[in-house]
Structure 1
């Protein structure tokens, strides 16, 4: 049996979902370089043939690359896999040294958002106007050259953490320090940093905030002007798998959901597919998952925001499996093992009556952008969230991506993006319209439900 080394650090699909699929492709060994989710250990550990936990060492840079290569050689790994955004560069370098398939020598293009945009601009891929910010003084010059409002963001960030909106010159004084400090705190809290780039936290860019619109795109109200194309690159060839939609973000740009299937008409989906193809092709990746985010605008315009050399997080891969019947994790793993599984020749579209699925954030803010007025305690065993969805729909808390029972949900922090998530729900429904209704019902009703579950604790 072929051997798989999975490198773990927080991020991506939960282990209880990913590990059975990885283990179905070969003998699964795990190298943990970040904290393991102990509260779900009973669900993922049985799938592991071996576990080496080096998370307490806080390996960085060359030390981490050496740890991956040494462990791969020790077990005789035929493939190295990962899920976290923050492992892209380390695994790319380790697999290069090992002579195994991986994200490839151009993986940095899928991590450094400044380089990413420069590559796309040169390739004619539509992107918002932007500027590199190498030092705080660069921000004033960029503000004069670009059109506000603008977004100051970390070049190596994820999950909208550390974003700052700049509307006038008065915003510049503290914005740079705030972004750097917020990202640094996030990395410290989760126990990982950008691999081999000690100054990565300080690398930022500023870009114009393009005016998004769903006019001319969606017939149904309730969807946001932002979506993703999920895909796989195998031996340098990009295979777009499907589009996942969103409901609108809340300030500043925190995502609330990821929905499949996309309900846009096929001609529009094919236009999006073409833009995603151009964007991913320009990055020059080798073998990895991809998650390409696109902003929709008026008059059929699109802007590519970013593309990752890994699968989308939360339960995106499970959504694809539930709706389209294919397992992206297993398909990619088989590609990494040197096999040639049948990959979609074109992006998949849902048939009429297809099941629908979503990842939905447990986040203390309403879809209208109003933060909760309370700080209730999460208790999955007592909170009957199924009361909030339609008959025939299902909803479950994803344990590996959620706080343990008894955790108080802190107030919403506008600078923390996805760090505001206290958990993730996985929803299914009979069709996309019902799923959309369910997403809004949960987000609008969750605070009241939790307050009524344990009122004496929640109001303490």
Structure 2
């Protein structure tokens, strides 16, 4: 089994453990152009067989990969899905997504068009290639709206648009942060704070195993409220939706999978919870970030191993079952101002670390090296630290989240 390795939803150790679970002989396909890969190359070289495709076009990369005689290919990185698909197609070995499907999965504009054509969603949207397209896009979509890159993950460069002048500033900021990035404007979906509960995020993700076009819902993942502009604070399982709403979410996720013609794989579908019910945000054709960790700690179910089974053409025999609540919670740097400019300097949480570790329900509290204040391009991924653990129920998790905010709020400010 070959895994195209890069920054994504599973680390190398998780991939190795999954391969052992599936009794699969593993090698990693690496591209040293990736900063993530370069930083980990000394460890990867010692622990794994590596196929180096640095600087190779898809055909030459396929030739290099074929020398390992793989029985399947897989990636947990959004940025490597198209290359994985191209290599698999050239060799004639299994990968979840054909090149056409992979193209739809990494392009949010193609997804929106597919959802509209299937009658799944009538959300107004319009592409924005440059500032000249903006006025026409706003006429078609209206305000408030959301500006996002057509390609990208983790909320990178996503901004809320409330005024025409603010929209122009947002497009200019994206052009400065990531020149040449194609953008998409979508109507803002108003969330229903009562759908999951007022203390939780107004969105969820649905994790689905797809085997030969048969969809098997694995779980619905709950979320903490977003921080401005659209930064994820963390996830937890099980969710807090009532049974009919959870079923509607799973049904919509399955319909979206069909609209994109996904035949196999672990699929991570993000849904907004509105007063009219769940609405589609986007579909990711791979395991969602941090979802595998939260699910594994809460149920013992290995989502990475499930992904590997599907990549080998095998079904997933069961689904997670949760007896307690497990979570992962991110400590985010504050931002200032309507344009979400970064704060003047990184806050220091080290004095509060001991207090975080002694909060009931915290199993692990880790602070990261304080980075320089992140710019717009890096804001979505910026983290000051993370907490993980478990609680007996959602009421205890509510009290824990409140305690974290009370402890860290004086340092982080309003996020």
TM range, normalised to the smaller chain? Answer: 0.7 to 0.9
Which residue of 1 is the match for residue 82 of structure 2?
Answer: 89
Is 1:326 equivalent to 2:301 in the alignment? yes
The aligned runs of 1:270-419 (5 Å cut-off) are 270-298=247-275, 300-313=276-289, 315-344=290-319, 350=322, 354-365=323-334, 375-376=346-347, 383-384=353-354, 386-387=356-357, 389-390=359-360, 392-397=361-366, 403=368, 407-411=369-373, 413=375, 416-419=378-381
- What secondary structure is seen at the aligned counterpart in 2 of 1:180? helix
Aligned 8 A contact 1:5 1:81 in 2: yes
Is the Cα–Cα contact under 8 Å of residues 73 and 95 in structure 2 kept in the other structure? yes
C-alpha distance after superposition, 1:374-433 (max 9, x if no partner): 6245769x933643521x542244xxxx84xxx324346566442222444332222333
- Match of residue 35 from structure 2: 35
With over 3 angstroms needed to count, the CA separation of the structure-2 counterparts of 1:262 and 1:249, relative to structure 1, is same
Match of 2:220 in 1: 243
Counterpart of 1:170 (choices 161, 165, 173) is: 165
- In structure 2, the CA distance between the partners of 1:263 and 1:41, relative to structure 1 (3 Å rule), is farther
Relative distance call for 1:349 and 1:303 in structure 2 (3 A) is farther
Distance 1:150 1:267 in 2: 29
Cα deviation, residue 276, structure 1:
0.9
Root mean square deviation of aligned Cα: 3.1
Unaligned runs of 5+ in 2: none
Do residues 207 (structure 1) and 186 (structure 2) align? yes
Q: What TM-score do you get using the length of structure 2 for normalisation?
A: 0.86
Label 1:43 to 1:239 Cα distance change in 2 as closer, same or farther (>3 A). farther
Q: In 2 relative to 1, CA 252–12 (structure 1 residues): closer, same or farther, beyond 3 Å?
A: same
Q: TM-score, normalised by structure 1?
A: 0.78
Counterpart for residue 18 of structure 1: 15
Structure 2 CA distance for partners of 1:31 and 1:423, relative to 1, 3 Å:
farther
Moved more, 414-423 or 132-141: 414-423
SS in 1 for 2:206: strand
1:9 to partner: Cα distance: 1.5
Q: Shift in Å at residue 207 of structure 1? A: 0.8
Distance in 2, matches of 1:373 and 1:257, equals 25
Structure 1 unpaired stretches of 5+: 185-200, 451-460
CA contact (8 A) 2:362 2:388 kept: no
> Does residue 43 of structure 2 align to residue 65 of structure 1?
no
SS in 2 for 1:317: helix
CA distance in 2, matches of 1:66, 1:378: 48
- Checking the alignment, whether the CA contact within 8 Å between 1:127 and 1:304 is kept in structure 2 is no
- Alpha-carbon contact 2:144-2:188 (below 8 Å) kept: yes
8 Å Cα contact 2:104-2:111 kept in structure 1: yes
Q: For residues 44-193 of structure 1, what are the structure 2 equivalents within 5 Å?
A: 48-53=47-52, 57=54, 59=55, 63-66=56-59, 68-105=61-98, 106-126=101-121, 128-183=123-178
Inter-partner Cα distance in structure 2 for 1:270 and 1:202: 36
